Structure 1
């Protein structure tokens, strides 16, 4: 099974090619590891093993001040479960919506060194993830 934890060059290029102007909302789907894996960032690891969910909580505690300073905001963060419509064998433990004022603000946030100092908690926490950039409709035509 392929895990998706970081964007690829192609997906990053595609994100910029969309030409989103104005706010962008990131839909995050998160699948936690049973036990967090701090092998890539041992300096961040707690003294005793913790769950992936607990490691993600540490990531969020670190990240929220940086997100807010960048002009972003957490719109929603909630526990997942079984799909109402979707594959029965697919599991997402949590979903999150994060808004940034622009793609440029999002990129500045994700490249900020102070933010990146805690990214190891995210890597330790997640078994798999999805990130879908969403843009608001500028006009919606409703027909009767």
Structure 2
């Protein structure tokens, strides 16, 4: 994808979802989220969630997190890390992310259960209104090894 490509990634495709499940990850899964927010949240797809006055994408995402946390925690997950983003130190000069977030789930099954929960889905429109572009990378923890240990393996 070239930097001039204006494709936004907001939802997983069926193929990506299938590939995620087929990875057969065991144990906890950490989701690396990179998020770029709209200047003004766009609630046109979910007018029932729209506030009385326009708000920023960042504020709409705050509403999404407030709505989501109880469902996330109920499913065995939690936010591990939340940080303000910016431009890359190593990476494309014209690419920036407003927020980086690490979300941990006990397992792939608990993540899928959370993602399909009707209560959680009822507030998903806040995320849609907030986010201009995103990346979601599922991570599976691996043991840390020193360079010497890695050479012995």
Q: TM-score, normalising length from structure 2?
A: 0.91
Q: Distance in 2 between matches of 1:81 and 1:129?
A: 14
Corresponding residue of 1:101 = 106
Displacement over 4 Å in runs of 4+: none
Q: Distance in 2 between matches of 1:52 and 1:122?
A: 9
Q: Which runs of 5 or more residues in structure 1 are unaligned?
A: none
Q: TM-score, normalising length from structure 1?
A: 0.96
Q: CA deviation at 1:140?
A: 3.7
Aligned length: 144
Corresponding residue of 2:3 = none
**Match status 1:76 vs 2:87:** no
**Match status 1:124 vs 2:124:** no
**Within-5 A mapping of 1:29-48:** 29-48=34-53
Q: 1:119 to 1:56 in 2, by over 3 A?
A: same
Q: CA deviation at 1:143?
A: 1.1
Q: Distance in 2 between matches of 1:21 and 1:141?
A: 23
Structure possessing the higher radius of gyration over alpha carbons: 2
Q: CA RMSD in A?
A: 1.2
Q: Which runs of 5 or more residues in structure 2 are unaligned?
A: 1-5
Q: 1:139 to 1:79 in 2, by over 3 A?
A: closer
Deviations, residues 68-112 of structure 1 (Å, cap 9, x unaligned): 111101100110011111111001000000000100000000000
